[in-house]
């Protein structure tokens, strides 16, 4: 049975170049906006911060530049609209899949911001990247945000079409393969004093990067 015309609309082609540029813009947007958030946390939590000091002048320069870079990259990403698929009609089910994908990312934002502010301290302004202690309240917010984001991501996967699932599975195969190979090797090397202690978040970040690259490559090849 043919889908009703009101349930379909046309999409423009999404090339590999657009996919790669979109991934780059997304990374730049996150880095720029996260840098701006870190600077705000620094101004709020550092007791002896003075606007007229050298530190204050650097913040007055770096903050708007970070905000401008992050905002410009985000604007470029919105203009490219890489979530729009190939030049073919799209059903209401596929639109639902796109919505779930975006929602999964947005739900994780509050947790990331809470972690950025909660891990900040005067002695460790980039504590979000460390293994420093967190307050239970911040930890609960971060964990709840992350679990809800992952629940929506599983919902997205269950509603995705066969091509989307194959692309994600392709990236996951390489990402998980990297994780199960590097983790024990790093652990053994650390015990022998050849490497520092294993850092779970470093392994997780590298795994996610590999999964994302494999996913985008397979999806747009």
Per domain, the residue ranges of the chain are 12-87
Selection from 110, 137, 133 nearest residue 123 by Cα? 133
Contact 7, 92 (CB under 8 A): yes
pLDDT at 11: 46
The pTM assigned to this predicted structure is 0.62
pLDDT at 188: 95
- In the chain, what percentage of residues exceed pLDDT 90? 14
pLDDT at 41: 66
* CA–CA dist 205, 196 (Å, integer): 17
The pLDDT tens digits of the residues spanning 49-73 come to: 666 676 677 777 777 888 888 888 8
Residue 184 — pLDDT band, cuts 50, 70, 90? very high
pLDDT at 135: 81
Question: For 23-50, what is the mean pLDDT?
Answer: 70
Residue 121 — pLDDT band, cuts 50, 70, 90? low
Residue 1 — pLDDT band, cuts 50, 70, 90? very low
Helices within 46-196 (DSSP H only): 54-80, 92-118, 136-159, 162-191
What is the b/e burial string over 95-108, where b = at least 16 CB atoms within 10 angstroms of the residue's CB? eebbebbebbeebb
Phi-psi region of 2 (alpha: psi -120 to 50; beta: other; left: phi over 0): beta
Contact 147, 108 (CB under 8 A): no
Report the mean per-residue pLDDT for the chain: 76
**C-alpha distance across the termini of the chain, in Å:** 30
pLDDT at 52: 67
Tell me how many helices (H) and strands (E) the chain has: 6, 0
Residue 159 — pLDDT band, cuts 50, 70, 90? confident
Question: Is pLDDT above 70 for 44?
Answer: no
């Amino acid at each position: 049975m043919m889908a009703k015309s009101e349930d379909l609309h046309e999409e423009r082609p999404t090339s590999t170049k657009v996919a790669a540029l979109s991934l780059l813009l997304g990374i730049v947007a996150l880095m720029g906006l996260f840098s701006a958030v870190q600077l705000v946390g620094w101004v709020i939590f550092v007791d002896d911060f003075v606007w007229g000091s050298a530190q204050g002048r650097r913040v007055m320069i770096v903050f708007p530049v970070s905000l401008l870079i992050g905002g410009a990259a985000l604007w470029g990403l919105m203009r490219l609209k890489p979530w729009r698929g190939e030049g073919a009609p799209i059903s209401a089910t596929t639109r639902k899949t796109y919505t779930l994908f975006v929602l999964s990312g947005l739900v994780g934002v509050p947790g990331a911001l809470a972690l950025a502010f909660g891990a900040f301290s005067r002695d460790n302004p980039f504590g979000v990247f460390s293994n420093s202690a967190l307050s239970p309240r911040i930890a609960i917010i971060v964990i709840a945000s992350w679990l809800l984001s992952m629940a929506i991501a599983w919902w997205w996967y269950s509603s995705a079409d066969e091509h989307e699932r194959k692309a994600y599975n392709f990236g996951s195969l390489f990402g998980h393969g990297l994780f199960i190979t590097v983790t024990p090797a790093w652990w053994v090397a650390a015990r022998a004093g050849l490497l520092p202690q294993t850092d779970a978040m470093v392994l997780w970040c590298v795994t996610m990067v590999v999964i994302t690259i494999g996913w985008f490559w397979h999806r747009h090849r």
